[in-house]
Amino acid sequence: MAIDKKQVIKLLEKIAVYLELKGENPFKISAYRKAAQALERDDRSLSEIEDFTKMQGIGKGTAAVIDEFLENEESDTLKQLQAEVPAGLVPLLDLPGLGGKKLAKLYKQLEVTDAESLKDALESGKVEELEGFGKKSAEKMLKALEDAHSRPERLPIAHMLPLAEKIESFLGEAQTFDRYSRAGSLRRMRETIKDLDFIIASKKPEETRDELLSYPDIKDVVASGETKVSIVVNEGYDIGIDFRIVAPEEFATTLHHFTGSKDHNVAMRQLAKQQNEKISEYGIENVESGKVKTFDSEEDFFKHFDLHFIPPEVRENYGEVDRFKEPVDLVNLKDIRGDLHMHSTWSDGAQSIKEMAERAKSKGYEYIAITDHSKFLRVANGLSEKRLRSQREEIQKVNEAMDDFHIFAGIEMDILPDGSLDFDDDFLEEMDFVIASIHSSFQQSEDKIMERLSNALENPHVNMIAHPTGRLIGRREGYAVDLEGLIQGAKRTGTILELNANPNRLDLNWEWLMKAQEEEVEIAINTDAHSYPMLDHMNIGIGAARKGWLRKSTVINTWTKQQLMEKFNIH
Prediction pTM value: 0.86
What is the extent of the structural domain holding 165?
Answer: 152-246
Residue type, 558: T
Mark whether 381 and 433 lie in a shared domain: yes
Distance of CA 40 to the CA centre of its chain: 22
Rounded distance between C-alpha atoms, residue 20 and residue 30, angstroms: 10
Mark whether 15 and 126 lie in a shared domain: yes
Final residue before a domain boundary, out of 269, 304, 328: 328
Count Cα neighbours of 222 within 13 Å in the Cβ-side half-sphere. Answer: 12
- pLDDT for 1 equals 60
Mark whether 227 and 259 lie in a shared domain: no
Check which CATH number belongs to the domain holding 491 and give it.
3.20.20.140
Provide the angle, in degrees to the nearest 10, between the axes of the packed helices 76-84 and 5-22.
30
Which is nearest to 543 in space by CA: 173, 28, 157, 257?
157
Which is nearest to 320 in space by CA: 249, 260, 253, 239?
260
Number of domains in the chain: 4
- pLDDT for 384 equals 96
- pLDDT for 448 equals 98
Residue type, 163: L
Mark whether 298 and 344 lie in a shared domain: no
Contact 5, 52 (CB under 8 A): no
Mark whether 473 and 515 lie in a shared domain: yes
Rounded distance between C-alpha atoms, residue 275 and residue 288, angstroms: 11
Mark whether 101 and 22 lie in a shared domain: yes
Rounded distance between C-alpha atoms, residue 570 and residue 434, angstroms: 12
Check which CATH number belongs to the domain holding 112 and give it.
1.10.150.110
Mark whether 490 and 478 lie in a shared domain: yes
What's 556's DSSP letter? G
Q: Is 435 helix (H, G, I), strand (E, B) or coil?
A: strand
Rounded distance between C-alpha atoms, residue 370 and residue 177, angstroms: 45
Mark whether 367 and 285 lie in a shared domain: no
Residues of the chain predicted below pLDDT 50:
none
Mark whether 123 and 223 lie in a shared domain: no
Check which CATH number belongs to the domain holding 225 and give it.
3.30.460.10
Which is nearest to 201 in space by CA: 290, 294, 123, 108?
294
Mark whether 255 and 216 lie in a shared domain: no
Strand 218-224 and strand 192-193: the pairing is: unpaired
- pLDDT for 141 equals 87
Check which CATH number belongs to the domain holding 284 and give it.
3.30.210.10
Residues contacting 109, CB < 8 A, separation 6+: 130
Rounded distance between C-alpha atoms, residue 309 and residue 301, angstroms: 8
Rounded distance between C-alpha atoms, residue 121 and residue 141, angstroms: 11
Mark whether 59 and 125 lie in a shared domain: yes
Final residue before a domain boundary, out of 287, 308, 328: 328
Mark whether 282 and 417 lie in a shared domain: no
Contact 232, 238 (CB under 8 A): yes
Q: What is the mean pLDDT of the chain?
A: 94
